[in-house]
Amino acid sequence: MRLRILSLICVCMYFTGSAQTFLGLYGTENCVTQIRDNPAFVVHEDRAQINFLTVGGEIGGNALMFKKGIYKSFTTGEATMDKDYYRSYDKHSKTMWGNMEVIGPGASVLVKKKYFFAVTTGMRYLMNSDNLDNNVFRIMGVNSYVDTNLTDSFKVKNFAITAQVFSELNLTYAGYLYQSEDYTLVGGATVKVLNGIAAAGLGIEDASFKTYNNDGVAHNVIGTANVAFTPLANKWAITNNPFTSLRNPANNMGVGADLGVVYYMNPNETLFRRRGYISRLALSITDIGSISYSASSTSGKYTVNNKDIDLKSVQNNSDVTFGTRIFNDYLIDTVAKPSGSTKKVKFGLPTALHLNGDFKIEDRFWVNANVLINLRKVDAENLSNHYISTLTVTPRYTFGQFAVSVPFSFNVQKQGYMGLILFAGPVYIGSGSLLQMTASNSINNLNLFVGSSLRIKPKRQKEKDAMMM
């Protein structure tokens, strides 16, 4: 079955996302970049911290494997199946994701020596595709790897593909909940003012079809689809860079929230107060909320009841967008009948639980452990984006204004990666999957970030005679 749908969807989903994105970017300094993961990091010992700009991107999944030659497609925009990439032999349901996140500008400040505030900004593009049956996945695209003479019945269960672009203005306050000479507990909260730029999603709760003799036709199709598009979303969601949506933004406002606490341990046997900490434990829940977008005229519920769909005739046409072709040739042509429409479509934020520990092993050597747990279930009826549950352990070594971190991560898809982060004064650059990206010819995760932030340290206090205290 020579279908181009898979090639179109998979390649565009990977390359329109250029998180979870900042794997291993934790430390004792420049906590302003960590406010996105825990608002309590607004509390610090500096007068202020400024984040100029941090940009990160990640693409991954268990569906496709990329060869090193895929890098040239970043400039040419072209990639060929079985030459630049190929299907993964993983037999599980297929999951794919692509995220791009921009943080900054933003700053956190100390007011009257006891009030901590932060104002941060950012923009995010999030894409998820979940629960695509492996056999369905393999009969799609220009090369079919399933013997349909042996496997002729296919099912789709709770499949969802979602993408959204939004900007955010984050207002954060944090303060001391408990404070002693050796131990400190701080808590913080963030109110997120969200501007929903564009969104697109498709959810199939339950569907089935059959094939016969590789004729390119899905026979006896039965199922329902939840279609959620903002106006003009099909111009970017499938075929173009997602940030082209900025040309025609939906400008739908929403709100969200982050909550977090951090516990610092700094036992001290001297008479002088020691700055910093030797151990730090943090817990937070981020991205609570959702955005309601204005719906396009094609959004709503669609039902297919025992129809035959000639899938081989669905080709990528350069004169129209993929979404327009589908709606014109299939939905409007009564193959799928609308059973309901809507004026609003809601997309959930990637709500997640974060557990973080930072431990001083020696004067210059630290180990950080971070657990990100996704709290969003895949739901074809209630579309949302999500991060991938991931454990990351990051040793780091600091020397003056320089530092080196080596993050090791393992996610719920049973994928492991090793990366590298370099710090030079206010500038840092890193990747959570650098080893695989450079040493392996079979790549299923690309992760890269770069940024710059500045600390404005407090004035040095004059030494006082400890005996007079």
Residues 244-293: pLDDT tens digits? 888 888 889 999 999 999 999 988 766 566 678 999 999 999 999 999 99
| Mean pLDDT, rounded, for 212-231 | 84
Q: What's residue 265's pLDDT? A: 93
Distance from chain centroid for Cα 182: 37
pLDDT bucket at 65, cuts 50 / 70 / 90? confident
**In angstroms, rounded to a whole number, what is the distance separating the alpha carbons of residues 243 and 170?**
21
pLDDT bucket at 371, cuts 50 / 70 / 90? very high
**In angstroms, rounded to a whole number, what is the distance separating the alpha carbons of residues 17 and 242?**
7
Distances, alpha carbon 311 to alpha carbons 3, 152, 172, in Å: 7, 15, 50
Distances, alpha carbon 330 to alpha carbons 222, 275, 295, 399, in Å: 14, 66, 19, 62
Amino acid, single-letter form, for residue 343: K
| Percent of residues, the chain, with pLDDT higher than 70 | 79
Q: Which DSSP string do the residues of 391-440 spell out, in sequence order?
A: EEEEEEEEETTEEEE--EEEETTS-EEE-EEEEETTEEEEESSHHHHHH-
Prediction pTM value = 0.86
- Other CB atoms closer than 10 Å to residue 374's CB: what's the count? 18
User: Where does residue 142 rank: exposed (0-12), middle (13-18), buried (19+ CB within 10 A)?
Assistant: middle
**In angstroms, rounded to a whole number, what is the distance separating the alpha carbons of residues 413 and 433?**
15
Q: What's residue 297's pLDDT? A: 81
Residue with tokens 């434990």: 281
Residue 1 confidence (pLDDT) above 50 = no
| Mean pLDDT, rounded, for 10-19 | 36
- Burial string for 16-47 (b: 16+ CB within 10 Å, else e) reads bbbbbbbbbbbbbbbbbbbbbbbbbbbbbebe
Tokens at 278, concatenated: 């030797």
Q: Which residues contact 124 (CB under 8 A, 6 or more apart)?
A: 19, 99, 100, 101, 102, 165, 166, 167, 168
End-to-end Cα, the chain, rounded Å: 83
Class of domain 5-461: mainly beta
Q: What's residue 449's pLDDT? A: 93
Please give the biggest Cα pair distance in the chain: 93
Q: Is the CB of residue 445 less than 8 Å from the CB of residue 60?
A: yes
**In angstroms, rounded to a whole number, what is the distance separating the alpha carbons of residues 458 and 142?**
62
Tokens at 304, concatenated: 């297919």
Q: What's residue 270's pLDDT? A: 63
Q: What's residue 331's pLDDT? A: 53
Q: What's residue 237's pLDDT? A: 67
Q: What's residue 77's pLDDT? A: 54
Residue with tokens 């730029």: 197
Q: What's residue 317's pLDDT? A: 45
Of 260, 348, 363, the closest CA to residue 34 belongs to 260
Q: What's residue 305's pLDDT? A: 85
Q: What's residue 78's pLDDT? A: 64
User: Where does residue 257 rank: exposed (0-12), middle (13-18), buried (19+ CB within 10 A)?
Assistant: middle
Amino acid, single-letter form, for residue 338: P
Q: What's residue 12's pLDDT? A: 37
Q: What's residue 126's pLDDT? A: 93
Residue 227 confidence (pLDDT) above 80 = yes
CA dihedral 137, 140, 141, 144 (to 10 degrees): 90
Q: Is the CB of residue 226 less than 8 Å from the CB of residue 301?
A: yes
The ranges assigned to domains in the chain are: 5-461
Residue 10 confidence (pLDDT) above 80 = no
Q: What's residue 16's pLDDT? A: 33
Mean pLDDT of all residues belonging to the chain: 82
Q: What's residue 413's pLDDT? A: 87
Q: What's residue 89's pLDDT? A: 78
Peptide bond into 105 cis (omega under 30): yes
Q: What's residue 438's pLDDT? A: 80
The region of weakest confidence among 105-114, 154-163, 361-370 is 105-114
Residue with tokens 């099912």: 155
